[in-house]
Amino acid sequence: MEEFLRACRRTLQEDVGPAGPGVHVVLGNEACDVDSMVSALAFAYFLFRTAGGDPPVLPLLNIRQSELVLRSDNLFLLRRTGLSPDLLLFRDQLDLRALHTAGRLRLTLVDHNVLPSSDADLEGAVVEVLDHHQLERKASPSCPVTVEMVGSCATLVTERIIQKAPQILDQQLAQLLYGTASMVLDCVNMAPAAGKVTPKDSQYAAALETRFPALPPRGALFQELQEAKFDVSGEFMSFCASVSKFLEQARTPDLDLHPVSSSHPHISAYHQGNKLASRKKLLPIVKNFLRECDGDCCLGDAEEESVVPPTPMNSLVEGCPLDEGLPKITAEDLQDKFRQMDSADL
């Protein structure tokens, strides 16, 4: 898997472009949770090993590179399996529209079966779909669709690999599929009471356990992933520290920040001496920081309306027994709150 990902990066740097050869992209959903990430990586590797890599197959995470730091469970699983995040490819590193316009794009969707409206112009490039959500896609003879309501898309990827190319499975790929690819995480530790586990999920989890007895214990791996998912330390804290330093050094306007004590070890608090620097003046400073850290690609057009990313359709976010009794917060609720804050007269 590691050598495959290195080859993908070389392909991106050397060959991919509107004037170059065609490319087959395996694209996860916009939430880019663990299931989506692993399904894209594993299915792209399967296609590479079974189709010979012509055209080149690239797994593409459907987020900007700078956003991976916010997905601590994804990072944990990658490192647990010995894969560097630096080997991954992200949406802001490949111009899918230019490739499609040039007739050089083949697109396989995993962990979703319809493109969002923002990507509707790529529909003609879709050649296959593998998903575990409610079918929303219209049937087409030119695009095979596999949609089955199992606990995770990784189960369907595992099924395809075991049925078609079991020889490509090794310890690393098996651990991605077993631990990360939400057979554990999406299915709430494979507990029947969670209501998300199907016989197929159990079947292929057991198949991986049988083939690879050195896989970590299921319960222990679930606990590690859960802790990583809600861990606010590490890379995220480093990112926040960088933001804080940037705000302290800002001069247009000078916020005149003075650190004050905070009861929480992960929160930096300040007294702002410049009372005229409202939220509307602070926001451009933060946007400038994000552009600098992401090569002017982090936020896109500053004039565009902010869009809340879609909620990942997995059992720990939607319909999970762990969230019973909690109020539901929709993307519309958040957008309304942001609009209220932006229009507040300070």
Q: What is the pLDDT of residues 46-55, one digit of tens each?
A: 999 998 777 8
**Residue-level pLDDT at 235:** 57
pLDDT class of 13 with cuts at 50, 70, 90: confident
- pTM equals 0.71
- CA distance to 51, 54, 125, per residue, from 97 (Å): 24, 20, 10
Q: What is the pLDDT of residues 242-260, one digit of tens each?
A: 778 888 888 888 889 888 8
**Residue-level pLDDT at 6:** 95
Say whether pLDDT at 93 is over 90.
yes
**Residue-level pLDDT at 222:** 78
Closest CA to 112 of 313, 308, 278: 313
Is there a cis peptide before residue 310, judged by omega within 30 degrees of 0? no
| Average confidence score pLDDT of the chain | 80
**Residue-level pLDDT at 340:** 57
Contact 46, 169 (CB under 8 A): no
Domains and CATH numbers, the chain: 1-230 (3.90.1640.10), 234-294 (no CATH)
Say whether pLDDT at 297 is over 80.
no
**Residue-level pLDDT at 314:** 41
Q: How far apart are the C-alpha atoms of 184 and 189, rounded to whole Å?
A: 5
Q: What is the pLDDT of residues 169-214, one digit of tens each?
A: 999 999 999 886 445 555 566 666 656 778 898 899 999 999 999 9
**Residue-level pLDDT at 64:** 93
pLDDT class of 317 with cuts at 50, 70, 90: very low
For the range 252-261, what are the long-range contacts, defined as Cβ-Cβ under 8 Å and sequence gap of 24 or more? 252/285, 253/277, 253/281, 255/282, 255/285
Mean pLDDT is lowest, of 35-44, 87-96, 232-241, 293-302, for: 293-302
The average pLDDT across 90-112 equals: 95
Look-up of token digits 């565009």: 304
Say whether pLDDT at 45 is over 70.
yes
